[in-house]
Structure formats: structure tokens, C-alpha cells
Amino acid sequence: MAKKWIDGTVPRFLLVGVINTLVGCGAMFLLYNLAHWSYWLSSAANYLLGGIVSFFLNKYFTFRKREWSWGQAVRFAVNVAACWLLAYGLAKPLVLQLLAGRSLWLQENAAMLVGMCLYTALNYLGQRFFAFRK
């Protein structure tokens, strides 16, 4: 059972994730902390920019899908949107409750970090078994 879930795609997905994180997460924290965008707009920009990078790297490098399909692109976009909404929707109230009484800046930055972790796990499963399924 574990072999079905953990194979050669996992290290490639994690490597793409590092690249994706540098692009998307960098934009998210810069937009939130320097441009003073909201929590939701900053995290959405992360996944819009990172999603574009992630789509092409995961399609061709991680899951080695060479053919082009609008279906894959649509499934990928649906997966990213669903994972983002779920991960960040769960992270924010959880962290706000855990860090009650702390500054909103700390709460929202921490929520974005927790949301990133939740998103990564959900996104891998969604890409592997939905967006780029065999």
C-alpha cells in the first residue's frame, strides 16, 4: 500500500516544491508584509504564480506527462484552487485560536506557514491521483 503512495515521484515533487516555494512564497510574504495586501490576496498570489511554475515542472518533470491535455490543465487548476481554499481555510482559524492574544501580523504570518504545509500534502495527492492520474 505504501509503495502505491510513495514512489519516485515524491522526491521530484519535493524538489519542484522548493523551486515553487521560492517563487510563490517569496511573492506571498513580500506582498503581505511590504505591499500590505490582505491574507487572502497574498496567499492567492502565491498559488497563482507558484501554480504556473508547478504545473509545467510537475507535468513534465515529476509525473513525466508529455502529452498536452486541456483536461489536465483544468484538473490541475481545480486541484490548486481546492487545496488552497481547504488548506488556508483550515489554517487561519486554527492558528488564530492557537495564537489568540498575539498580534494579527504574527497570527496571519503563522497561518500562512501552516497553510503552506497543509497545501503541500493535499496538493501532492491531488496532482498524483487527480490532475496527472495515470
Give the structural domain span for 82: 8-131
- What pTM, to 2 d.p., does this model score? 0.76
Residue 3 lies in a domain: no
In this predicted model, what pLDDT tens digit does every residue of 90-105 receive, in sequence order? 999 999 999 999 999 9
Residue 81 lies in a domain: yes
**Dihedral angle sign, alpha carbons of residues 36, 39, 41, 44:** positive
Domain count of the chain? 1
Residue 49 lies in a domain: yes
Distance of alpha carbon 97 from alpha carbon 89, whole angstroms: 13
Residue 2 lies in a domain: no
In this predicted model, what pLDDT tens digit does every residue of 33-90 receive, in sequence order? 999 999 889 988 987 898 889 899 999 999 898 888 899 999 999 998 999 899 999 9
